Structure 1
Amino acid sequence: MRTSGQITGVRLAQTPSAQELRSRFERHSAFTVGVEEELLVCDPETLDLAPLAGELLRRLPQDRAFKGEMPAAQLELASPVAATVGEACAALLAARHEAADAAGGDAVLAAAGAHPFASGIGQLESGERYDAIQEEFAGVARRQLCFGLHVHVAVPGADRALAVFNALREHLPLLAALGANAPFYEGRDTGLASVRPKMCDLLPRQGVPPAVPSWEALADELAWGARSGVMADAAQWWWEARLHPRLGTVEVRVPDAQPTIGDAAALAAVVHCLVAWLAARADAGDLGEPAAGWRIGENRWSACRHGVTGRFADVRDGSARPTADVVRELLVDLAPFARDLGCSGELARAHHLVDHPPHERLRLAARDGGPRAAAAWLVRRFLTAD
């Protein structure tokens, strides 16, 4: 008998113990980085979403660079583990070209947080995992036409990684604001910088992640999720940042997918440097207690509504300033770490995202031709490096 709130039809994976989690985060010796992006697969004539990701995957090499996801019109690209953001994103640009070649005349590709005019209800892939999610989440699952940019950073030392994750939570709205790239939904301007967070919120375990006081606590949470049946495995710990239980990385999942690899590289550089900066502060004992989730959530809303043109509240004293000013100050703090990590050029481009926010550029592209013109602009930008 099926119990409400349970993912059924799949075998629940054994969850890792605290010792296993710790060992996965202890194995790193450098701040390596990996980048993943979720792409829109579109019809070449109408530019609407086209459920052809499975067909493209059959044409592409069977390796970790290309992956399928639950929406049938979504193709995921993943870089190899890299020493620098430049190296990771060069691999992604090559993968974009390879995917576009595989599409031929049957599809075109683009990147944004959401499609500008497609129906909000889409076709999903089948398979044991996805069928179970559809069974539990019903029509909500078909509304998960969300496209994100995910950045993994390895942090040498398990306890250091835990401290970095807890401190990172309060910075997530700044990353969301900087990468907000989805103002349109179902052919209308939503008035938001990005509608994607609200689409994601239809599912559980979204938004600002809870603080993690210890590895034992994280192991207990993952085990509870499995025992209760609400998660088939730890991969369904779907927050905007997480301690990846299998890869042993700090994973940031909050930015929207970006029109160009140059924009994606800028955001990845901010994440890479931010993690290294927080690690240095952890070593110096300079990180305070984790901030309250609801306070971070208020900044998350500002990022969703206004992007970098909004206001950002200090999560401790409540003072509020323009988000753009806070981001610019953060970029100055991160610059020395960019030199060490070999991504000064990519980090410098983040200033361009502050001055020319992705959501404003997309609105400008739609000024004369509406959301369809915005989709055409995204397709044209897909293979450009900058």
Structure 2
Amino acid sequence: MPLQDFSHSEPLTMGVELELQILSTHDFDLAPQAVDLLRETARHSGAWDIKPEITRSMIEIGSSIQHQHGPLLAELLDMRGQLAHAARRLNVAIAGGGTHAFQHWSQQQIYPGERFQYISELYGYLAKQFTVFGQHVHIGCADGDRALWLLHALSRYVPHFIALSASSPFVQGQDTGFDSARLNSVFAFPLSGRAPFTTSWAEFGVYFDKMSATGVVQSMKDFYWDIRPKPEYGTIELRVCDTPLSVHKAAALAAYLQCLCRQLSLERPFEPAEDDYLVYTFNRFQACRFGLEGEVVDPKTKQRQRLRDDILRTLSRLDEHALDLGAVDALQGLRDTLFDGNDARWLRQCRAGGEPLRAVMEQSAQRWMSA
């Protein structure tokens, strides 16, 4: 299948997708009730949508196209309210977080659907292990060339979004030592990681044709890159964030990305280069493992610094853009996160007093459904 043309969209518009956990209110393990929840929410009011994900204990909600943080947050709050109401009717709970703290992959059930069955047959047990939960943010781009420029320009900031959103310290009952263990499940897929360094849509089309000719890929959906172009939407899609524990954090992360894209596009503080990726894997690992305490290497200057400090400096450069985009409060909330700690820290604090993981998941669900 040839690569489709890159659709034009209004630059810097944004959309958010959130993968969410469905929990039993009896033991707060994952509950395979996606079909029931989708039925209950089929007549929801609003421009957002809701759809199944790869296993029956997850759903994905997606916002409409938004221009500013305030309306995006209002829509996410509306989503949350209607979902929470439907969940209570079914006696289940909804939670954010990048992983469930104690579920076991072997107990998960693949959602009935052609693509999900294809993934299950291709990847075996990895498909069930893919019961992890992320936030994806789309940013509108005028054309494919500018989309690829922005994709590569954002590569040095990928650790920011991993560390700020990290909410997956626990896997199958154990503290992994990672702030974002979710991404370890994503990295297991052969077409994950970084996109190839192509700088024009025509050049990317040549790459796609070569990959398609091998039979390895059939569409853009087969790429699990950290950032990937979405030609049918006219966007680039950032995919590294864990699902936060609240919709407020989800909206703030989208606003941060929008402000950053505006600053990069208007000011062009540097030109992306293939060598920028020399430190990419190291920086990404530091963010996953240590969160805001990680260290990153600047691909241009080769200087090492604390990730928290790098985010703080970046935020200081975005004040003017945040003002123009109505995102001042959102970015201030992220500044607070730098000192208060990310969601992974909050989950560990819930556990620190000897609380069972069941109680941690209960508190997580209460936070998402009401915070």
Contact 1:263 1:353 in 2 (8 A): no
Q: Which residue of 1 aligns with 2:126?
A: 140
User: In 2, distance between residues paired with 1:379 and 1:227?
Assistant: 45
1:64 CA displacement: 5.1
Residue number in structure 2 paired with 1:371: 357
Cα distance in 2 between the residues matched to 1:29 and 1:105: 39
Alignment match, 1:240:
226
Q: Can you list the C-alpha shifts for 1:165-213, whole angstroms capped at 9, x where unaligned?
A: 1111121112111111110011111111110110111112222333222
Equivalent position to 1:74, from 55, 58, 64: 58
Q: What does 1:1-386 correspond to in 2, within 5 Å?
A: 14-17=1-4, 20-21=5-6, 24=7, 27-61=8-42, 65-103=49-87, 104-121=89-106, 122-282=108-268, 286-355=270-339, 356-368=341-353, 369-385=355-371
CA gap of 1:261–1:334, structure 2 versus 1, over 3 A, is same
Please state how far the C-alpha of 1:383 moved relative to its aligned partner.
2.4
Q: What's the CA shift string for 1:210-248, capped at 9, x where partnerless?
A: 322221222223333333222232122211111112101
Amino acid aligned to 2:258: H
Residue 109 of structure 1: SS of its match in structure 2?
strand
How much is the aligned-residue C-alpha RMSD, in angstroms?
A: 1.7
Q: Matched residues in 1 for 2:117 and 2:272: separation? A: 42
TM-score by length of 2: 0.93
Count of residue pairs brought into register by the alignment: 364
Q: Supply the AA of the counterpart residue of 1:45.
A: H
Offset, 1:120:
3.1
2:55 and 2:109 in contact (8 A); partners too: yes
Structure 2 alignment gaps of length 5 or more: none
Mind listing any 5+ residue stretches in structure 1 that lack a counterpart? Answer: 1-13
Distance verdict in 2 for CA 1:29–1:200, change over 3 Å: closer
Which residue does 1:7 correspond to in 2?
A: none
The separation in 2 between residues aligned to 1:166 and 1:288, in whole angstroms, is: 6
Q: What is the identity, as a one-letter code, of the residue corresponding to 1:175?
A: F
Are the counterparts in 2 of residues 209 and 293 from structure 1 also a CA contact under 8 Å?
no
Instruction: Say which SS state the counterpart of residue 72 (structure 1) adopts.
Output: coil
d(CA) in 2 for partners of 1:222, 1:316: 29
TM-score, scaled to structure 1: 0.90
SS of 1:160 mapped into structure 2? helix
CA-CA distance at 1:288 after TM superposition: 4.0
Q: Is contact 1:44-1:105 (8 Å) kept?
A: no
The 1:294/1:377 distance shift into structure 2, 3 A limit, reads farther
Q: Does the CA-based 8 Å contact 1:197-1:207 persist in structure 2?
A: no
Aligned equivalents of 1:44 and 1:229: distance in 2? 44
Kindly provide the amino acid, as one letter, of the partner of residue 380 in structure 1.
Q
Identity of aligned residues (%): 29
Q: How far has the Cα of 1:292 moved from its partner?
A: 4.0
**Cα contact 1:15–1:234 (8 A) shared by 2:** no
Give, as a single letter, the amino acid of the residue that structure 2 aligns with 1:203. F
